Structures are given as structure tokens and as C-alpha cells.
Amino acid sequence: MKKIALFTLIAFCAQAQTNKELNSLVQQVLTYSPVLKAQKTSLQAGEVKSQIQSSYAKPMLAYEAGITRIDPVSKVTFATGGVPSVLQFQPNMNYNTNFVASQTLYDWGKNKSTIDKILLETRLSQTQIDQTAFGLAFQIATVYHQILFLQNVVAIQKAELGRINSHKAIVENQIKLGEALELDVMGLRIRVQNQETKITETETQIDKLIDFLQTQSGQKDLKSQIKAILQAKSSKGAIDQHPSILSLEAEKSVFEQEIAIQSKASTPTLAGSASLGVRNGYLPRINGEVPAFEDDFKLNSLVGIKLTVPIYSGKRASMQQHLAKIQQERISFQKEDTQSKLAYELRQGEANLKLIEDKLATQKKVIEQAKYAYQLGEARYKEGTIKQLELDQIQNLLEEAQLQEENFKFQFNLQQLDLLRTQGVKFWEL
């Protein structure tokens, strides 16, 4: 089965070509899409979060100023020369102003692990954006194919209208010559009206689909741009590159990093601090006298190192680790299921593509026979050996055969797109 699939894909690649017009249209839609723009803000947010977390490893400098009143304060009363004196060791009003600096010296990689997790979450956001873009691109391609199919249908319908009008002109001329009755042309006039209605209905469907594409792309005039028929380009069947698989892998990486972060939750943190400033209260008060400013207010400094060692936190870290492992296991099962489904869809898609190719080959023979039958019928009708009703039946068979061929072509193109979608191929980037 694998050999057949590989052969099919190689043959498929050999005959395929990229449609620049469709690729350009998809790029326009992806650039304009408000939904994608909204999702992309998560990337900007991730970058800012990373910068915020990085700032925790940088020094912090602050200015502090304060006023405090203390009541009571320590006092000693003693007698000097028979006169009682009061010694106050600290003023009631305390003033301070200083600059404070602090710096985490070493945290055993906890901050870096958190930054790495943020980066992985940003990567996950990117895969989710890719998924949205992927689905939108294939939706646009499908609508594009519908338009091309309907345009070809209109061409066939107009060709049939031309044949009906040609026969109507012949009959009208015969009526003038007295060789036919007015009744003979009534059926042809009704057929003309019905065919014109069909064409109008089909063209209306085209206009609606074009309006959808214009809305999605922000373009005002796409009608003239939609001309060529897409031949989708395939890759090598690498379903592991499908956006859904990549998104699951990115999500799994986030939980792996969460486990790494929680494994460091019990590690110490070493921080340094320093301050430089001015405060009062360096000299005691005797009998309530306030020392001179230059004696009372002094420059002071502080330098220190602090080691913080977590001892017990209610097993939060181990439980969070366990939760992350459960999430990883869930993702592994989801990935296995997704891979299995994509592989199945790929096999079915290849089989369907081969079936449609066979139908197209058969339908070409049917059209050749229908065209030959119409040529014979038209010649006999002009000779008068068959009636208008018989010729109409032959005409209908030809139109039906041509419409069926276009339907098979449409199905073939959609199946090509489905194969690309299953393989995770971004055809608009090829």
C-alpha cells in the first residue's frame, strides 16, 4: 500500500503546477484577515512578557523617603549637681531618605526557565495562528475552484444557447418559406428562455462567491482576476508537518518546560542588596534639646546578601509537576490519534483521486461519442430525416456529458486540495 501511495504522489507531483493567481489571492486574504491580526497580537504579548520576565534578572534601584513618629521612646533620668536631667536615646520624629539597590545574584536557573516557557508559549501561539491561516487558505482555494467550475459551466451553457438559437433561426427561416409551422419554433423559443435563466442563475452564484472572496481579502474588484484553473502542487506526504501535529508538539513542549520550572521550585535564591542615604537620630536628646543639623543627620549605608531556601510549600511544586505530566500524556494520545486519522485520510484521498482520474478518462470518450452523435443528428435534421425533438435529445446528451466532465474536473481539483490539506502543505508558499 505504501508503494502505491508513494507512486501516486510522485506521479501527482510530476503533473502538478502552482497557480500564482490563487497563491496571490490567498496571501491577500491572510494579510487582510482581522481574525489573524487579532491572533497575532498574542505574539506581541509574548515578546513583552519575555522582556518583563527578563527584567527580574536586572538590578532594581529605588528612592525611599520616610517620616515616622515613635511614642514612647527610651529615656533615662539622672541627677547632675542636684539637678535632674533626661537622656532620650532616640528622637520621637525620625526622618530618612536613601537610595536602595537590589540584585538577584543566582536563582539556580528559575528565571531563565520561566523565560524559556514564555518563548515556548509564544511558539504555541504561532502554531495556532498557522492553523487558522491554514484553514482559511484552503477555504479560499475551495471557493476559488467553485468559481472556476461555475465559469466553465456558464461557457457550456452559452455554447448550448448558441446551438439552440442557431436551430431556431433555421426553423424561423423555414416558416418564412412555408416549409415549417409556427408551432415548430415555439419549443425552441421556450428552450432559449430556459437556457438564459440557467445562465443567469449560474452567473449569480459566481457573483456571490466573488463577493465572499472580496470580503475576505479586502479587495474591491476580483472578478477580472479569476481566470486560470488551479493545478495543486503536492509534497511528499509528510503528515507530521500538519499544523495540528505541530501545534500539539508545541503544547507538549510548554508542559515539558513547566516540569523543568517546578523541579527548581525548591532551589535557593541568593540576592544582594545595598542602600545609601541620610537619616537623623544619631545623637541622643538631653532635656529635649535637638542637636545641630550636621550632628543629628548623618550619611549611612547598608550592604548585604540574603539566601532564601524554600523548606515547605504544601507539595505545590510536586503536584504541579504531576499535573504537567498528565497534560503531556494527554497530548501524546491526541497526537497519536491525529496522526492515525491523517494517515487514513491520506490513503482515502489517494484512492479517490485515482478513481476521479479514471472517471475523467472515461468521460472524455463519452464526450467524443456525444459530439459525433450531435454532428450526425444535425446533418440528418437538416436533411429532414429526424425531427426537432430527436435533435434536442442528442443536444441534451452532449451538454450533460460536458457538464459532467466539468464536475469531475471540479472534484479532481478539490481532491487535490484535500490531499494538500491532509499533508499540511502550504501551497500558497510554494
Kindly report the CATH number assigned to the domain that includes residue 178.
Answer: 1.20.1600.10
3-state SS class at 3: helix
How far apart CA 24 and CA 222 sit, in angstroms, is 12
Does residue 100 lie in a domain region?
no
3-state SS class at 57: coil
Does residue 73 lie in a domain region?
no
Does residue 311 lie in a domain region?
no
Q: Which of 17, 19, 14 is nearest to 228 (CA)?
A: 19
Question: Which residues on adjacent β-strands are paired with residue 289?
Answer: none
Neighbours of 323 (CB within 10 A): 14
Does residue 66 lie in a domain region?
no
How far apart CA 262 and CA 315 sit, in angstroms, is 11
What is the reported pLDDT for 334? 85
Residues 6 or more apart whose Cβ sits within 8 Å of residue 244: 131, 338, 342
> Is residue 310 reached through a cis peptide bond, with omega within 30 degrees of 0 on the bond before it?
no
Does residue 92 lie in a domain region?
no
Backbone φ and ψ of 233, nearest 5°? -100, 130
What is the reported pLDDT for 227? 52
Query: Can you give the residue range of the structural domain that contains 184?
Result: 2-59+109-270+316-429
What is the reported pLDDT for 1? 40
Half-sphere exposure of 214 toward its Cβ, with a 13 Å CA cutoff?
14
Distance between alpha carbon 95 and the CA centroid of its chain, in Å?
59
Q: How far is CA 402 from CA 167, 174, 405, in A?
A: 20, 30, 5
Does residue 91 lie in a domain region?
no
Does residue 157 lie in a domain region?
yes
How far apart CA 330 and CA 339 sit, in angstroms, is 14
Backbone φ and ψ of 276, nearest 5°? -145, 125
Task: Look at strands 75-80 and 93-106 and give their pairing.
Answer: unpaired
3-state SS class at 297: coil
Does residue 175 lie in a domain region?
yes
Q: Which residues of the chain have pLDDT under 70?
A: 1-18, 80-82, 222-238
Residues 6 or more apart whose Cβ sits within 8 Å of residue 393: none
3-state SS class at 395: helix
> Number of folded domains in the chain?
1
How far apart CA 288 and CA 237 sit, in angstroms, is 92
Element (H, E) at 96: strand 93-106
Report the chain's C-alpha Rg in angstroms: 41
